[in-house]
Amino acid sequence: MEKHASGAHLKRISLTRYLVEEQREHGTIPGELRLLLEVVARACKSVSNNVNKGALAGILGSAGTGNVQGETQQKLDIIANEVLLDANEWGGHLAAMASEEMDSFYEIPNRYPHGEYLLLFDPLDGSSNIDVNVSIGTIFSVLKKPLQSGNVCENDFLQPGVKQVAAGYAIYGPQTTMVLTVGNGVHSFTLDREAGSFVLTQQDIRIPEDTKEFAINMSNMRHWDAPVKRYIDECLQGKEGVRGKDFNMRWIASMVADVHRILCRGGIFMYPWDKREPDKPGKLRLLYEANPMSFLVEQAGGAATNGRQRILEVTPTALHQRVSVVLGSKNEVERVTKYHLDAQ
Ligand code: AHG
Ligand code: MN
Ligand code: MN
C-alpha cells in the first residue's frame, strides 16, 4: 500500500492482516499482543455502535454516579468501561486492567487464564461531548506486567510511558477510526461497517514540525502560568508580533479529537497546570490519557512534554495521577518547553 494513501481503490488490508504481517516483518506483535489489540478493536466497534444509536438506545445523559476523580459519570462512560472489561477478561492475554472509571485496577478473575499484559484505558474520552453529538473516543495503553511481580499490584501499572508496548485510540466521529502504534510508526484503520472490520487507511502518519494552529481552553487563561501565557500571547499577536504569522485556534474538548486533528494536519495541544487547583499537576491523567497520546505523537515525529520533561519519562506514583500536557508539532512543543525552562 502506498504511504499516506487512502481510498477504496487500494488493496484492502484489514487490522488483522496488518498485525500478522507486522509480526512477520518486524517481530513487534507476538500472538498474545495481536489478540489483545484485536479484542480492544472489537470492543471499540461495540462502543461505536452504541455511540451511533445515541438516544435510540437510551444511552445519553448522566448515570447519576461519580468516579474516583470526583467527575460525574455519563451512562456511556460506564457502558464503554463494561464493554472493554467484558471483551478483555476471558482471552488469557491479560493479567489486569485499569481504567479512568474504576478506583482500583481489575485483576483477571481466577476462572480465566492470566497473560503477561496490562491494559489501561479511558473508556470514553470527551464525555461532555456525548450528549451534543460531537466526536468522542476511547484511549488505551498496553504495558507488560513486570516479570518479578507475583499477584498484580498497583505498582505494576506505575511504569513510565517509554515502557508501553502499544497504544492507540478509537475516535467516534463522522467515521470511526482506530489509530495505533506498537513502536513502529502510527497507522490508522477506518471501520467499514458493512464488512464489520477495521481497514488500513493511512500508514506512517507524520506530524508536520511547524504549525499555525493551537488547541487550549482559552477560558482558563487567567489561571495559567507565565510561560503558557507568553506562548499564547505571542500566537495571538499574529503577523505583526514576534512570531510573524497568524495562528488559528481549535478546541473540541475531546482530547481524542484534538489529538486526531494534530495527527492529520499538525498543531499544538495544551492542557497545562493552572491556578484553579494548584496542588494538581494538571487535568489530564498520565497513565491512560497523556502516555498513550504521547507515544502516538512521538511515533509520528511530534513531541510531548509536561512543560519541562518528556511525558514518556515521567515516573508515575499513582494510578490516576494527573499531568500537565503540551504535545504536537515538534518545534512548537520545544518552544513552549523552552519558555518553561527559561522561567525556572
Ligand atoms: P474525560 O471525558 O475522559 O474526562 O476527558 C475529558 C478531557 C479531555 O478529553 C479534554 O481535552 C478535556 O477534558 C476538556 O476539558 P475542558 O472541559 O476543561 O475543556
Ligand atoms: Mn479523557
Ligand atoms: Mn473518560
Name the amino acid, one letter, at 245.
K
324 lines ligand 1 (CB under 6 A): no
Q: Which of 8-17, 73-82, 86-95, 149-158 has the lowest mean pLDDT?
A: 8-17
Q: Which of 102, 135, 255 to mutate to test the pocket of ligand 1 (most atoms within 8 A of CB)?
A: 255
Helix axes 226-236, 330-342, angle to 10 degrees: 130
* Ligand 1 contacts CB of residue 255 (under 6 A): yes
Q: In sequence order, which residues have a C-beta less than 8 Å from that of residue 56 and are 6 or more positions away?
A: none
What is the bridge-based pairing of β-strands 213-215 and 268-271?
Answer: parallel
Residue 69 in contact with ligand 1 by CB distance below 6 A: no
CA–CA dist 288, 99 (Å, integer): 7
Output the residue whose Cα is nearest ligand 1's atom 18.
217
* Ligand 1 contact, 125 CB (< 6 A): yes
pTM over 0.85: yes
Cα angle at 262 between 339 and 15, to 5 degrees? 135
On whether the CB atoms of residues 30 and 183 are closer than 8 A, the answer is: no
- CB distance 137 to ligand 1 below 6 Å: no
Report pLDDT digits (tens) over 75-93: 999 999 999 999 999 999 9
Ligand nearest 124 Cα, by number? 3
Exposure pattern of 141-160 as b/e (b: 16+ CB <10 Å)? bbbbbbeeeeebeeebbbbb
Instruction: Give residue 247 CA to ligand 1 midpoint distance, Å.
Output: 23
Q: Which of 284, 287, 293, 327 should be mutated for ligand 1, with most atoms under 8 A from CB?
A: 284
In angstroms, rounded to a whole number, what is the distance separating the alpha carbons of residues 200 and 5? 10
Mean pLDDT of 282-289: 98
Q: What is the mean pLDDT of the chain?
A: 95
| Helix and strand totals (H; E) in the chain | 8, 17
